[in-house]
Structure 1
Amino acid sequence: MSSMGASAEENLETKQMDERSFSISSSQGQQQAPPYVHKVGIPPRQNLFQEFKATIKETFFADDPLRSFKDQPKSRKFVLGIEALFPILNWGRSYNLKKFRGDLISGLTIASLCIPQDIGYANLAKLQPQYGLYSSFVPPLIYAVMGSSRDIAIGPVAVVSLLLGTSLSNEIDPTTHPEEYRRLAFTATFFAGITQATLGIFRLGFLIDFLSHAAIVGFMGGAAITIALQQLKGFLGIKTKNFTKKTDIVNVMHSVVSTAHHGWNWETILIGASFLGFLLFAKFIGKKNKKFFWVPAIAPLICVILSTFFVFITRADKHGVEIVRDIKKGINPSSVKEIYFTGDYLGKGFRIGVMAGMIALTEAVAIGRTFASVKDYQLDGNKEMVALGAMNVVGSMTSCYVATGSFSRSAVNFMAGCQTAVSNIVMSVVVFLTLEFITPLFHYTPNAILSSIIISAVINLVDYQAAILIWKIDKFDFVACMGAFFGVVFATVEIGLLIAVSISFAKILLQVTRPRTCILGKIPRTTVYRNIHQYPEASKVPGVLIVRVDSAIYFSNSNYVKERILRWLMDEEEQGKGDYQTRIQFLIVEMSPVTDIDTSGIHALEELHRSLEKRDVELVLANPGPVVIDKIYTSKLANMIGENKIFLTVAEAVAYCSPKLAEDP
């Protein structure tokens, strides 16, 4: 005890002596460094294998999916592995009648919405109506077993249907070669599923994040306009042979105008306009009062029933009103033998499938994350990709085309009170009953109704409020948004998608190659240094230029960073000559935002140091991170600059410079 007390007294004495010496030197008019200058820590070195392993784990397994497997017996690991692949085995144990009641109501509600939509979306994909219903029977069952989202409603969607319809028809004419067209659709669906499952298995889901939110908003808005324009054919009663096969607004409007005198059917327009007005009114009621969410959900089915009955009793089909006619009865036939595994169409199916799979995946993951955040539960993106991929692979073998999460149906599913993925099973059962018993009743359903249903469904995809917000937040994001939008509207869906991806990549490259730098100044009465443009009260330190680099320094930007820092220095020197300020003697680089540096970055700092030496300016570094400081010492850059010129904070770096500035006359 006595030795501990003596040690404490000695430490206190030493501290008091240091404080006295510092106060004396300060009173003599010299600003010296604080008595305690913290040395920048150097992390322990890792061997190559450890570093590689840590990088791989953080890149692909940041969520540590195997943490629940640790310290578990083999039998338990097997059970956990099966539950990870089939989440229904996990949440199914706690399933009860109360949850089923919510799933039953929501399942019946989304079924009433999906049946008319599926028939319309199949037409959009240029397939026969039953294939839309097939795609809402098998895929939802697979997803319910393997998916981790409680709210996503699975089935065909407008954007993917349009993408498939335009891409496939560019390869095969669906009218003259319907069988080959259908086979190519199944092939594309197969490869869409393979793409999705591969991304999930190899944990490459981060690739879909390269398509920015702004680009998606623009792409979806442009696709909605294109889809609505495509429906003018059915809405106005224009014969297929008189309507363009292209999707851009110029060709579509030219077809509409050129057929105005002899191609329009007033009975069809009356039916389409009347029920479109009803659908929009139902949407208005649903938005006005959330309690009436079911009104816009069942409105499409009501429209189909009423319009079909009206056409049947008036025989409007004999007066030019186009009808659906026969929808094949029965559940999904096998299509394994129809997929192209060899031949010329294999490559085309692969290309179209990858594109459709990525778009479908982006939409589904965005929807799943949205509702998961609302209900505050975790959504495993990689499991979602595997589930979506598996359902599309199985779907391609059971006469389905690409299915994914539908935003409109998922929103209805959520508002109807769904509890689990069982709502998808309920919807699938209703579609099964429809295929087995009800399809003949759709014989007299007018095409104008399907067009009206699709138009009302895609209106919400034009999110102008999001576009306005993007404009306010980031002008470059707005360029990406508008580029994708106009690419889809004035060219094709593929070109719009290409523009969206290209602009997103361009933004990333611009940010990487031209990182932000700024000059720091001291906030009055503090030891804090901040951007002088953000904090006007911050003052520069005479004789010291403090620059912060807000990015990692790589080969792509190292030369720019070096030249930008030198330009800052030259600007300050020019300004100093005019204002008769103290000559810049120290350049402090604040490196806390520099998360990493490569060989080119180290080389750029060496060149910067040599350039500064010629100008009689000392280079000082402040707060380099663990990765950066390790590479600085490994490369011997620390010896070149001087180990005593690397500090923990900008304040300590300035304190190091102050005595030397005071000595300079």
Structure 2
Amino acid sequence: MPAPDPQDPARCCSYRAVQKRLPILSWLPRYSLAWLQLDLIAGATVGLTVVPQALAYAEVAGLPVQYGLYSSFMGCFVYCFLGTAKDVTLGPTAIMSLLVSSYAFHDPVYAVLLAFLSGCIQLAMGLLRLGFLLDFISCPVIKGFTSAASITISFNQVKNILGLQGIPRQFFLQVYQTLRRIGETRAGDAILGLACLVALTGLGAMKSRLPRAPSVELLSTRVSYRIVWISATARNALVVLFAGLVAYSFQVMGSQPFTLTGKIPQGLPAFQLPLFSEVAPNSTVPFSRMVQDMGDGLAVVPLMGLLETIAIGKAFASQNDYRIDPNQELLAMGVTNVLGSFVSSYPVTGSFGRTAVNAQTGACTPAGGLVTGALVLLSLAYLTSFFYYIPKAALAAVIICAVLPMFDAGIFRTLWRVKRLDLVPLCVTFLLCFWEIQYGIVAGVLVSGVLLLYPIARPPIKVSDRGELLVQPGSSLHFPAIEYLRDTVCGRALAAASSPCSVILDCRHVSSIDYTVVVGLADVLRELRKRGLSLTFRGLQDDVLQALLSAGLEEFQHFTSWQEAEQCGEAEPGSSWALLFPCAERSPLATGCIQ
């Protein structure tokens, strides 16, 4: 029987292959009534959290508040079919909203097109299995970005807490104008905003200190526990509802001390393709110009969205003892953003806060997202008239309490103890993100890349003098290191006290070399030979030896041990050994002295 061909169309369309692309098929046949009850509770609880957060995050993105709701339901439905984590919920988040604010210029047309293009890029990455590219964004860069984002997002909401209008969005101008105009603070907004902050903080602290659910106590005890737990978990919805009732009461009495959200269009968004051009007052902005305007946002937004989703998925998968498939998560994100753009969504990603609520509520499968999505659709269809009375100060309090925990002050102290050099990309990212988000992320990635590549360009080379000079590189050799290697070999060989001198390359730690290194070694051979010196290799590993033999180097000599070198007459006592390239194992290709 011939071996099955992995490229066989029948094999690719097998049930197992389809199940891998549609993870719902792996858990739906086992679905039970007990799971349904828990998923319903989890979905409803997350729905009470996502509606007020969606309204608030649209403000962060610089878009009309209804776009937060438009962005909140498609991910719930798509992830139920394509997601591999039972806890993850997709939707608008603080970080993604901040990125959209930077790259969509507060224009809904740009924001929706950015979602479509980001989804296409994520889909392509998933199909090409490029999830490993996220591994090149280091933890210090992520921490620097999220910490800076928590500060910029929080301070961006101070103007709504104080009731100030016309504050610029650039962070440094924002700080200056807010402090300069603090005397214009509206008392009603400030009092309500601070009260909401206190309430949210208190309810959050109460939830973190709740003991495990009682199982044996009286019914009244269990009911009381459930009431407290629901109040603390749905604190965003409760605080926003209370603030809206207060604002409505003042409206009925004929006065309004608060800045309100205002009228929100009622009804579901139309299902249509995103606009690929925009009609300006005096001209039309073509698709090519819109793509050019978004620039590096087409790389930053998809990557950061994927990074956030996969990081959250891995964290909760580890906590709850299951595994996720990063490439399948890429596909789920891509499909969500592409289809989301058809309903006027801006780019979305996994939400840490709502995922935590989902997990703590006891979600068993991604089916809870269907309930969450349905609640968002009901809100759009029937409840938008009630959103008119939600004070902006209350939404600002929701955002501040959601993003402040993202600031990780301890990371600076931790990196100082663990590896101080990692503070460089952290600080570069952190500081530049206050200027422009994209500059901070790109600069942090570049600095991390330089730190990653520096050991390749300057590998450790141990040099010892015991009558012979022994120089021992501690890693493989690649083209950035050849000049450094050449300078070390020739410089130490020519500076040796005894003459003539032999140079030994002991390749114990060199597992690979490239063509540029081979060419460089040929140059070293010629340069040493002109000065009456010889270059000898010792202990070459198979691949390295094969590469050097294939290059046909003139007067190439190698040994597998010091004893063989002495037998060949090349290692006289008292000679100087100038370079040692490490290699411990005896190579089957190394057959002694080759001249």
In structure 2, how many angstroms separate the alpha carbons of the residues matched to 1:653 and 1:408? 66
Shift of 1:611: 5.0
Q: Secondary structure at the match of 1:338?
A: coil
1:445 correspondence with 2:369: no
User: Given the superposition, is the C-alpha separation of residues 150 and 591 from structure 1 closer, same or farther in structure 2, using an over 3 Å criterion?
Assistant: farther
Kindly indicate whether the alpha-carbon contact (under 8 Å) linking 1:190 and 1:393 is maintained by their aligned counterparts in 2: yes
Q: Which residue of 2 aligns with 1:363?
A: 308
Kindly indicate whether the alpha-carbon contact (under 8 Å) linking 1:294 and 1:412 is maintained by their aligned counterparts in 2: no
In structure 2, how many angstroms separate the alpha carbons of the residues matched to 1:317 and 1:606? 90
Shift of 1:515: 2.6
In structure 2, how many angstroms separate the alpha carbons of the residues matched to 1:402 and 1:90? 28
Q: Which residue of 2 aligns with 1:208?
A: 134
Shift of 1:425: 2.1
Q: Deviations over 1:180-212 (max 9, x none)?
A: x22121111111111111111122223333322
Pairing 1:24-35 to 2, within 5 Å after superposition: none
In structure 2, how many angstroms separate the alpha carbons of the residues matched to 1:657 and 1:610? 21
Q: Secondary structure at the match of 1:245?
A: coil
1:493 correspondence with 2:408: no
User: Given the superposition, is the C-alpha separation of residues 663 and 554 from structure 1 closer, same or farther in structure 2, using an over 3 Å criterion?
Assistant: closer
1:587 correspondence with 2:587: no
Shift of 1:127: 1.6
Kindly indicate whether the alpha-carbon contact (under 8 Å) linking 2:54 and 2:92 is maintained by their aligned counterparts in 1: yes
Kindly indicate whether the alpha-carbon contact (under 8 Å) linking 1:192 and 1:389 is maintained by their aligned counterparts in 2: yes
In structure 2, how many angstroms separate the alpha carbons of the residues matched to 1:487 and 1:71? 47
1:414 correspondence with 2:351: no
1:142 correspondence with 2:78: yes
Shift of 1:385: 1.1
In structure 1, how many angstroms separate the alpha carbons of the residues matched to 2:321 and 2:492? 47
Please give the root-mean-square deviation of Cα atoms over the aligned residues, in Å. 3.2
Q: Which residue of 1 aligns with 2:537?
A: 620
In structure 1, how many angstroms separate the alpha carbons of the residues matched to 2:202 and 2:303? 34
User: Given the superposition, is the C-alpha separation of residues 561 and 447 from structure 1 closer, same or farther in structure 2, using an over 3 Å criterion?
Assistant: same
1:599 correspondence with 2:515: yes
Shift of 1:569: 5.7
In structure 2, how many angstroms separate the alpha carbons of the residues matched to 1:370 and 1:68? 36
1:338 correspondence with 2:275: yes
Structure 1 counterpart of 2:149, which letter?
A: A
1:80 correspondence with 2:16: yes
Kindly indicate whether the alpha-carbon contact (under 8 Å) linking 1:186 and 1:339 is maintained by their aligned counterparts in 2: no
In structure 1, how many angstroms separate the alpha carbons of the residues matched to 2:490 and 2:229? 62
Q: Which residue of 2 aligns with 1:401?
A: 346
User: Given the superposition, is the C-alpha separation of residues 164 and 630 from structure 1 closer, same or farther in structure 2, using an over 3 Å criterion?
Assistant: same
1:254 correspondence with 2:254: no
Q: Which residue of 2 aligns with 1:244?
A: 168
In structure 2, how many angstroms separate the alpha carbons of the residues matched to 1:363 and 1:293? 27
Structure 1 counterpart of 2:150, which letter?
A: A
In structure 1, how many angstroms separate the alpha carbons of the residues matched to 2:164 and 2:288? 37
Pairing 1:104-123 to 2, within 5 Å after superposition: 104-123=40-59
Kindly indicate whether the alpha-carbon contact (under 8 Å) linking 1:326 and 1:442 is maintained by their aligned counterparts in 2: yes
User: Given the superposition, is the C-alpha separation of residues 85 and 289 from structure 1 closer, same or farther in structure 2, using an over 3 Å criterion?
Assistant: same
In structure 1, how many angstroms separate the alpha carbons of the residues matched to 2:72 and 2:87? 16
1:632 correspondence with 2:548: yes
Of residues 140, 144, 165 in structure 2, which corresponds to 1:218?
Answer: 144
Q: Which residue of 2 aligns with 1:284?
A: 205
Structure 2 counterpart of 1:95, which letter?
A: Y
Q: Secondary structure at the match of 1:276?
A: helix
In structure 2, how many angstroms separate the alpha carbons of the residues matched to 1:293 and 1:405? 24
Q: Secondary structure at the match of 1:619?
A: strand
Shift of 1:96: 2.3
Q: Which residue of 2 aligns with 1:230?
A: 156
User: Given the superposition, is the C-alpha separation of residues 542 and 337 from structure 1 closer, same or farther in structure 2, using an over 3 Å criterion?
Assistant: closer
In structure 2, how many angstroms separate the alpha carbons of the residues matched to 1:182 and 1:138? 17
Q: Secondary structure at the match of 1:372?
A: helix
Q: Deviations over 1:108-149 (max 9, x none)?
A: 222222111111001111222221112111122112211222
Q: Secondary structure at the match of 1:336?
A: coil
Q: Decide which structure has greater helix share.
A: 1
Q: Which residue of 2 aligns with 1:44?
A: none
Q: Secondary structure at the match of 1:257?
A: helix
Shift of 1:353: 3.9
Q: Which residue of 1 aligns with 2:473?
A: 549
Q: Which residue of 1 aligns with 2:416?
A: 471
1:265 correspondence with 2:189: no
In structure 1, how many angstroms separate the alpha carbons of the residues matched to 2:449 and 2:69? 37
Bigger mean CA offset, 597-606 vs 286-295: 286-295
Bigger mean CA offset, 289-298 vs 510-519: 289-298
Q: Secondary structure at the match of 1:394?
A: helix
Structure 2 counterpart of 1:455, which letter?
A: I
Q: Which residue of 2 aligns with 1:435?
A: 380
Q: Which residue of 2 aligns with 1:559?
A: 483
User: Given the superposition, is the C-alpha separation of residues 657 and 407 from structure 1 closer, same or farther in structure 2, using an over 3 Å criterion?
Assistant: farther
Kindly indicate whether the alpha-carbon contact (under 8 Å) linking 2:500 and 2:533 is maintained by their aligned counterparts in 1: no
Kindly indicate whether the alpha-carbon contact (under 8 Å) linking 1:215 and 1:484 is maintained by their aligned counterparts in 2: yes
Bigger mean CA offset, 607-616 vs 296-305: 607-616
Q: Which residue of 1 aligns with 2:29?
A: 93
Give the TM-score normalised by structure 2: 0.83
Shift of 1:552: 3.3
In structure 2, how many angstroms separate the alpha carbons of the residues matched to 1:368 and 1:377? 10
In structure 1, how many angstroms separate the alpha carbons of the residues matched to 2:233 and 2:262? 25
In structure 2, how many angstroms separate the alpha carbons of the residues matched to 1:113 and 1:229? 22
1:161 correspondence with 2:106: no
* Structure with bigger gyration radius: 1
User: Given the superposition, is the C-alpha separation of residues 290 and 472 from structure 1 closer, same or farther in structure 2, using an over 3 Å criterion?
Assistant: farther
Kindly indicate whether the alpha-carbon contact (under 8 Å) linking 2:274 and 2:344 is maintained by their aligned counterparts in 1: no
Kindly indicate whether the alpha-carbon contact (under 8 Å) linking 1:591 and 1:623 is maintained by their aligned counterparts in 2: yes
Kindly indicate whether the alpha-carbon contact (under 8 Å) linking 2:502 and 2:536 is maintained by their aligned counterparts in 1: no
Give the TM-score normalised by structure 1: 0.75
Kindly indicate whether the alpha-carbon contact (under 8 Å) linking 2:296 and 2:438 is maintained by their aligned counterparts in 1: no
Q: Which residue of 2 aligns with 1:506?
A: 450
Shift of 1:265: 0.7
Q: Secondary structure at the match of 2:168?
A: coil
